[in-house]
Structure 1
Amino acid sequence: MIRTIIVDDEKMPREMIKRYGSWDEYGMEIIGEADDGLEALRLIEDRSPQLVITDMRMPGADGMELLGILKERYPATKVIVVSGYDDFTYLRQAIRCKAKDYILKPIDPQELNAALLKCKKELESSRQISRQQFTLQMDFLQIAKGYKPALTAYYNRLDTAGVRSTFQKLLRELNDYEATQAKMQAQIYQEFMVLLRELMVANSQTVNGFQFEIRAEALQSYERLFNDLTELYLLAMSQLEEHRKYRRKLNLAEIKQYVEANYCKPITLEQIAGAFFVSKEYLSRAFKNEFKQNLSDYIQQLRMEKSKKLLLEGEQPIRAIAESCGYEEVAYFYRVFKKHFGVAPGEMRKER
């Protein structure tokens, strides 16, 4: 219902407005009445009407003053002026304050309802635009969040080209999506700053003292925003590279954490060793000594557990399951799966 208040210092005009208006037909309800501008302001602050119908000449704060305050503080509120004075000064003030109509007393029912219908249509249109903007913003955020896994993988692998490319791809997609209408720079900044902080903590980096703030100018456009985000990520990656190069002892718990975060991608022993600046032979030996299991076997175990879960709980095609578990060739996935579980993926799904 469209919340409406009526403001007039005389009771009779208020009663006529209530009697003549097609309130139910237009989905409107009268939530209050006031006999001067000050009382009207208290009602507006307390009840947040969407439509105000007001007289112009009243004791205390009059209609002209009320219109000015409504324009300044409540620009979304629709206003209809009902006045007994055919005065150009009043009419000009009503126009300046964007009143939707100026109706002269005595009130004509048709004229009143035409004004009410006009306000109804404008309010419904505004609500539709607000819903569309909200949907656009939610879609926008979902698109941005979809790039987080790639950024995580590139960050952990110290792949600066991958980080640059990911932010550029995201910028192009959002531009194609007309996301500039959504004005979501601040929210996107927060999303990727939270991710960066999480990545630094996961890689045992010191976050205290790191400059997570971004230039105010960067929030003026998506291009500036993604340029600044790229530079912040590259700075953190540079610190991570130094951290990995010069530490005295390989942190195997960190290696394991890295594998658990990336096993669904086609990572190799060589890539992991390169990301931590050690030889693959040393990495393999150290991992087995610590966890009593070959690193390659551990990756395969994680992939098999994940693929079995997807196979039994969902209806994804087996090819899609293979790809989502880090296997680029489905035939190789079949061989590994059957060797690990003793049955082919299709047979396991049938037996569930």
Structure 2
Amino acid sequence: MPDQPFASSAFTRTILSHAQQSGLCQDQLLARAGISLSWLDGQGQHIPAHLVEQLWNECESAGAGATFGCELVNGMATACLQGLNILLDSAATLRASLACFVEFLPRVTNCVVAELEEVDGQARLHVRAAEQLPHYFGLDAATLSLVRNIARRVGRAPCEVFVAVSLTSQQAAGPWLHSVGIAVEEGPYPCLTLPLASLDQPLLGANPFLHQSMLRRWQTEAAQHARSDSLDMARHWLTAGDQPIERIAERLGYRQPSNFIRAFRKQFGITPKQFRLGCAEPV
């Protein structure tokens, strides 16, 4: 079954860190947003998206200025991507870098979906909402982080890389983009437009060995995540119908039912048959 909308705990920590620097009280923000401080301890932890959205709202209510999201760009680049920035920096070309960004962004947050479109001699990086459009603080942080980091990777000024950037009507990133010579348009969601030829621009930090090592790690983690999702779907099918276990295993891509049974027992501590018969999962 699909993940519930989430943002990484690293992203949430970045918001709180900047809020404190702005004179806002972290404890009050967390309490009002319904986020437990213990949730922020581990790497790779997920925070429900609606709570992160509430955190944005509480920052605004507590007095954060309109450019609050724009000021998060340094933290976004270093902490929030959980190592994804290393994978993107070490790619051979901007095309390869953006392909990794589009593919693996859902491992960091599934609140937004990135899509790279090539049309009419231009490359357009769309950053759409998976469900409802996030608070404009988050959109500003994401937009400016992408602009700055893409320009940094190719070693050129932002105005030499981007044709235009579309922002929503609420976003406050326009003045900064204008200040570096980028045309700003209004749209339903952020969209970064570049010349198509720039996708094949070699990156300054290209490192084939490092990139392939990082890529294998991210691909492995994505595969593990997908297997976990499929086993959750198996639990649904086991309780929602009378499909034979062999058929469920086949639908989930297991060539041998025994492999499915082994994976299910490793994940949940009981066999699919025991689960179907109503045996309680161990605690």
TM-score by length of 1: 0.22
The higher relative CO (CA closer than 8 Å, separation ≥ 6) is in 2
TM-score by length of 2: 0.26
